[in-house]
Amino acid sequence: MTTPPPPPGWYPDPSGTPGHRWWDGQQWTAHTQPQQRQAPESVLELSVEGAHDPGRIQQQVQQQAGVRQAASGGGTLFTEPVIVVNQKTKLIELNNEYAVFDQQGRPIGSVVQVGQSGAVKALRFLTSVDQFLTHKLEVRDNGGRVQLLLTRPAKFMKSRVVVQRGDGQPVGEIVQQNVFGKIRFALVAGGHQIGEIRAENWRAWNFAIVDHTGTEIARVTKTWEGMLKTMFTTADNYVVQIHRPLADPLLSMVVASALTIDTALKQDERGLG
């Protein structure tokens, strides 16, 4: 039996050069990426993140989100049926950061906001203007390689998130369809709507993701992290359950949707009616 090629993504450069090279699913491309260096946390941000606890994440999945007996996955952002997205807990947040785990609490990736100037960080520190700023996020695998680039342009009423692969190739857009009531987002690829995100209540805490036929293919559940953390920090935590294997571009759009719900919508909830 022939082993299928690995999925598109950043992998160690086969030439031996430090860094990574983009594999498009069939062959190596000319796109390269230098080794990631971990940037020091801003001195303005106050992190209250505790030690990583797989048991807490398992409880988050099973007891808080009600997900039980999910099949095992392939250990990556695009092969796990359950993805846990936990925002890094900070008393002062100037840069959005999220850790991504599988249902057993094993790290499988991260989401990091990039491209903010010192002036923009100061503006976030002094004001509440998130919805009027452009947000750029990198979705990285557990080795720090960029798998998706997510850009939410500056907005006034409705959010739009542009989804690209790590090498900049377009995947699609997540487009907010309404402002009041239960919020909905269209998943658009190649100029066609291939799915939709549907908030299940006006506070937009839980979401169903459906395909173009209206069949639910994934569910996003916000989990409760306790009164103390909720009162004194801005962190949001979600459990994402993907009900069946999906093909691209729908798979990448669903993963991107799950990882951008906080940036696309939750940062703006002061403006929701």
Distance CA 118, CA 94 (A): 10
pLDDT at 234: 45
Tell me the average confidence (pLDDT) per consecutive run of 10 residues in the chain, 273 residues long.
Answer: 66 75 81 62 45 79 82 90 79 65 92 66 45 79 92 80 94 91 92 94 80 96 58 62 94 90 54 36
Query: Among 2.40.160.200, 3.40.50.1970, 3.40.50.300, 3.40.50.720, what is the CATH number of 50-271?
Result: 2.40.160.200
Question: Given the DSSP bridges, would you call strands 97-101 and 82-87 parallel, antiparallel or unpaired?
Answer: antiparallel
Distances (CA, A) of 271 to 103, 128, 130, 173, 204: 33, 11, 11, 22, 12
Q: Show the beta-strand stretches assigned E in the chain.
A: 9-12, 20-23, 28-33, 46-47, 82-87, 90-92, 97-101, 107-114, 135-141, 146-152, 160-165, 170-176, 184-189, 192-199, 206-211, 216-222, 237-242
Encoded amino acid at 17, one letter: T
Encoded amino acid at 180, one letter: F
Q: Where are the domains of the chain?
A: 50-271
pTM: 0.71
pLDDT at 238: 87
> What is the token pair recorded at 202?
């006006």
Distance CA 176, CA 201 (A): 15
